[in-house]
Structure formats: structure tokens, C-alpha cells
Structure 1
């Protein structure tokens, strides 16, 4: 039986239960209410919409019983889904293209970040005389995890300046206090990470930024087009089998995207778990301010995003054949459009 919106409102008014309306409008029955999301560095501002949707109960409002498994980096989170211990990845868009190049189809369906929001910096302790990218040769560069988006940004930067991945050593340092400690203690010479880690090290004077993709303007200059960042993505088989569940996940993230841009920095800082602040709430709030432009306002993936990401991957990934990639199979705004219509 179908029911129009007007009939729905009449029914809700007649029964005196307007709270019924959102539930009926919201979604059809979920194919899978118990969903596990794998994420690499949940405390990072890169994944702020995921945390907000969780903390504000947006996933619960959609009828989802969500569990979030946190890993050291995005590549580790992807491995969890590949291995079957999680259903959906909260991770960098580029991974959908990497997987397609290997004959495995994953699709991004809602965006959390419209800029990579990654900063690359050099240690003032071990590289006080840094002048050009050539100075990175032979150095140890910390990334959240090898193969993650933090690694990808460094690789792209190196390739633009005539260097290869083999010219440096990549060290997995995670996405929190461990990354801060690794740079301050001299275990690494440079670091690619996101906020609040980047702001914590620059504000304290431990690190100088040499690459900054926290704003849309800088991202367009570096990559030559829109570069989708944090997304929810999943195997195409999962999306095909669970469209209502995917819609519910999308609704929650889009709601979080919008909430973030509607409230104050203070309100956001109060909402995230205290440990996200790493003991320095003012630095965290400063980091939020610097990263706000890179956070998606509506969850929509840009039309040129896949092409930009393919071009970047082709520039530094050995054996990556851009001609074999179908960009249209790596993303969809079908669910995000519906969420924005709510």
C-alpha cells in the first residue's frame, strides 16, 4: 500500500502522534540493521562526521545498530572489509579506485570531506635546514599507515618533484598521540597526518608545514581539480543487497555534515569524546577552524572527483593503468540526493 505525504500528515494529525511521521517517511525496512564500520583514525577531524553521527544518535535515529572498529590507518580499515570482519569503510575515496584496478568493485556513496585535509610537515628538530623537497631523500616520513591516504598525499608530492617512494622510508605512526610523540622524539623526520595532530605540532613549533590540503583552494591548486576525501564506501555487492541500509547510513552522515556547518566550534568540541582533544582543547578548536572548509556541507561527491583522483594515482602508483578504470563505478550520489531531499 502506498501513502502520500498529505495522507501521512493527516493520519499523524488525526492520531495526535506527529512523531510517527518521520519514522514512516524515513525509510523502508532495513535489510541489515546491525552494521560494522571500519575506520582508520576515528579521532581525526578527517572523520568528524562519522563521530558526530554516532555521538548525536543519528545512526540510531535511522534504526541502525552501528559498531565502529578503529584501526591505525585507512588501509587497515579496508583490509577489515576485504577480510569480512566489517561491512563498510569510512576512509579515503582513492581506495575505491585502487580496488577497481585489482578487479574488485567498491563504491563511495556519501562524502565526509571535500578536501584531503592532510598536512605534510618537516621536523624542526631533525630537519631544521629544510629548503626543497629534495631534502626529504633518505628521510623517515611518518604516515597513519603505509598505503593510507596520508601516504598517498606524500607520494603524489614526491612524484611532482621528481622523487620516488623508494627515495624515502614510510613509517606507520597512527593518528593520535603516537604520531605526535614519534615526531617530537625524532623517530621520524617528517609527518603526513590530519588534524588535530598537524595543528598540535605546528602550534607547538615542532613542525613546519610544506604541503597543506585542508582547504578547497589549496586542494584545487595541488591536484588540479576536486579531490574527494573521507567517504563511506562499501563493496558493490553490499550496496546492491542492502540499499535501504545504505540509505540509512547516508542519511545519518548527511545530517552530521549539515550539523557541523550549522553549529559553533565550541559546540563541536563539546560533542566529540574528550580524548579527541589530546589534552589541548584550544589547539583542537583551532584545528577545527582550519579544517572546516575541507568538511563536506552536504555529503555530495563532486562530478570531477574520480577523474582528479585517477590522475593523482596514475602519477605515482607503479602499474596503475588509468585507462582500465571506470570512474562511474567508483561513486554514486543516488543516496546522498535522497538524504538531502529529506
Structure 2
């Protein structure tokens, strides 16, 4: 349930608070950004970093990996991050509890699930009903990856936790290794993890949750309401850089994108990196602009309700600001 998710957020925030740091002497304002995982799924973000878009906007961006939306939200609440990238579900859960601190979504990065479904053997005629009676290495309860998985299973006549066993006690960063070590019949992985597992012959991509689940505001940049109120120029510059990167990605090939983001994936073979980018580009993964639309958030909340993590929707205006995205779209040319 969502209250377990919230407990993890506030427990993590009490631990992360000791990690707060920053410098007022930097030539450019330093912005501490927490990404929920490290994945090619967030290619536009790495383009913004390595093409110098953040720097050109006047920001010094420092990235850290949270390994979970609950930990990303905790980083914001503890002031160990200024901006965090994760699914809006964390902001929704916090808003439902009417806590003193609100998390506000201000720029959308991806518009589909970025995970892929791998089996131990090739299954060219795979159907979702093939998972009945099997074991899936899934994600944490209350997180978007797990909820989209359950949404897809429900809509393909498979009842999660009844028709199929879902393993949810493996840390997000260890699921690929667990699968390679023989755990489970199927696994849900992001790129480049999916392509890396395929390259070893340990697994084979048989389906895409991005294609099966349809469009949903999967990962969005958030900040606390207070940080946004106190630093509107930083939020605008950050949003500008992300939009410039979205435009750039939309107009370049997988090979060109892979070359630019290569420094963020130095240990990944370049061919695998290209393959991962191509998969995401072909299924129209990345948002064309940073605007989080109301109908998109509405669908995400319906998925949360179906998963039993939410009993009622929150108002769009309570957790979303469109001011910065609209300003970026208005002032930045797509040419």
C-alpha cells in the first residue's frame, strides 16, 4: 500500500539528511539532481549534460543515483537533492497524506514505461498468458515499474500474484544479476541492462512494457514547493536545457545519441548502447516537450488505483506546475 511507500520515503529522508552538501562559491549555481536509476531510458538528460545545455543555461548539474522513487523523494525532503527524477506517484502519495512539504512536478522526461520483459529462451510468439504459473522478477510495490507491469497483466487476462508469482524482494540494481544467477522465469529490466543480459545469452527480450502499457508520464522532474518558490530561475533554466535536449534527441539517430551519452555509460559496449537507444527511439519513449498534461497524470493515477496503492485521485494542480514547461516551449525554437 501507499503508506508503506511513504514510510520508506520518510525513513530514508532522515538518513539522507546528513548527506546534504553544496557550495556557494561555484561560478555557476550547483544543482544537485537525483535520478531514480541510471539508464539509457533517460538519454535526453545525458544529452543535456554532455552537449553542454545545462552549462549554457548557466547551471552546474551534479547527478546522483537514488535507486528508487521513494529514495528520490526522500532526497528532496531531506535537502540532499534540489531536483529529482522519478514517477509522479511519489508526489501523489505525499499529497494524499497532506504533509507539510509538497513535491511538485515541473518537467516530464519520458512518456512510456522504459522496461522490457525478458525470458530465458527466445519466444517469438510470446503472449502475456504465457507467464501463468511462472515466476517474474518484478519491482517494488507502489513503484511505477511494478504498477505498469500489473496493469499490463490485468489487461491481458493474467491476475498478478494469483496466476503468476512476482518476486519483489530484490533490490532494483540487482535484478539482472539475480536473473542471470537463475532466479525467476522472466525479469523486467531497463536499458542497457536488457541488452547486456541478451548479449550474454542469459535472457531474451520478448515484450516491451512501453508498448504494452501505452503512454503514461513515467519519469518527471520534481522539486519541493519551497525550492521552486525560492529558485524559479534555476527551475526555468533546468527546464530549458531539458527541452533543448528533447528537441535534439528527436532529430538525431541512435548512433548520434549513443555517441553523445557515451561518457555516462563508459563501461557499456558501444553497440549495446546503440541498440538500447534504438529500442527507446523506435517505441516513441521520450516526451517531445517537458509539459506534464492532466490526462496523462489521470491515467497514471488510474494505474495506481488498480494496483491498490491509491484510493482516490489528487488534483492535478496540487502536484503539477506547468509554468516552466510552457515558458520553455514558448521561447525555445524547435528548428
Question: TM-score scaled to structure 2, two decimals?
Answer: 0.77
Q: Within 1, Cα distance between the matches of 2:194 and 2:293?
A: 26
1:273 matched to which residue of 2? 262
1:184 paired to 2:180: yes
1:307 paired to 2:289: no
Cα deviation digits, residues 192-234 of structure 1 (max 9, x gap):
22222223435665435455233xxx35xx35xx411221112
Q: State the SS of the aligned residue for 1:121.
A: strand
Please list every run of 5 or more consecutive structure 2 residues that lacks an aligned counterpart in the other structure.
1-27
Which entry has the higher C-alpha Rg, 1 or 2? 1
1:90 paired to 2:91: no
- Among 284, 288, 297, the alignment partner of 1:297 is 288
1:22-61 → structure 2 map (5 Å cutoff): 33-42=29-38, 44-61=39-56
1:74 matched to which residue of 2? 69
CA RMSD of aligned residues (A): 3.1
1:321 paired to 2:318: no
Q: 1:69 to 1:124 in 2, by over 3 A?
A: same
2:6 matched to which residue of 1? none
Q: Within 2, Cα distance between the matches of 1:36 and 1:262?
A: 28
Q: State the SS of the aligned residue for 1:69.
A: strand
Q: 1:137 to 1:84 in 2, by over 3 A?
A: farther
- Among 244, 258, 262, the alignment partner of 1:255 is 244
| Aligned-pair CA distance for 1:277 | 6.3
Q: State the SS of the aligned residue for 1:304.
A: helix
Q: Within 2, Cα distance between the matches of 1:266 and 1:208?
A: 22
Please list every run of 5 or more consecutive structure 1 residues that lacks an aligned counterpart in the other structure.
1-31
* Residue pair 1:138, 1:169 contacting (<8 A) in 2 also: no
| Aligned-pair CA distance for 1:131 | 6.4
Q: Within 2, Cα distance between the matches of 1:85 and 1:35?
A: 11
Q: State the SS of the aligned residue for 1:112.
A: strand
Number of aligned residues: 297
1:288 matched to which residue of 2? 277
Q: State the SS of the aligned residue for 1:272.
A: helix
* Residue pair 2:239, 2:324 contacting (<8 A) in 1 also: yes
Q: Within 2, Cα distance between the matches of 1:154 and 1:277?
A: 30
Cα deviation digits, residues 167-193 of structure 1 (max 9, x gap):
522143435xx5433222213432222
